[in-house]
Structure 1
Amino acid sequence: MKSPQANDSWFQGVAARDIHMEQLKKAERFNGRAAMVGIVIGIITEGLTGAGIVHQIGLGPLVDGYAACRTQFLPFCF
């Protein structure tokens, strides 16, 4: 027969794992909702200003350079 201490440590381990999984679920749910809000705000801003999401976060010149390279507007490609 198992000792009461071994049984208690097993229950504590199971409880700790359950608590961790619940915290992980809450964090993932929050991250997903924050991402959805960010995308909606980016789309609304794009509709109002005409600047795409990539330009809004400051990566516009990188995308513009790639587009110019792909359409042969630049004499060199990176």
Structure 2
Amino acid sequence: MTNTPSNDQSFDTSSEQLTLIEQLKQVELFNGRAAMLGIVIGIVVEGLTGFGIAHQIGLGALFDGYAACRTQFLPFCF
């Protein structure tokens, strides 16, 4: 009779783990789809405006070289 509570407890733990794994799969699927959608939107906007994705999110100065040197984002100049 003492084995029954431990078996029930391990069953609850394994069912909780399966539930968490299922939720994790759903969340990761959503994150992957959101990332793909974001990249596609960024590429489309780049094609329409000519500004790269770094410029769209405000990090263009870090990749421009001269602007990065002038604003002292980088310790060296190109």
Aligned alpha-carbon RMSD (Å): 2.4
The reply to whether residue 43 of structure 1 matches residue 46 of structure 2 is no
Q: Confirm or deny that 1:16 pairs with 2:1.
A: no
Measured after TM superposition, the shift of residue 2 of structure 1 is 5.2
- Structure 1: gaps of 5 or more residues: 70-75
Partner of 1:73: none
Which ranges in structure 2 are unaligned for 5 or more consecutive residues? 70-75
After TM superposition, the score normalised by the length of structure 1 is: 0.80
Report the identity percentage: 62
Aligned to 2:61: 61
Matched pairs, number: 72
Q: TM-score, normalised by structure 2?
A: 0.80
Q: Which runs of 4+ in 1 moved over 4 A?
A: 66-69
Pick closer, same or farther for the CA change 1:66–1:30 going to 2, 3 Å. Answer: farther
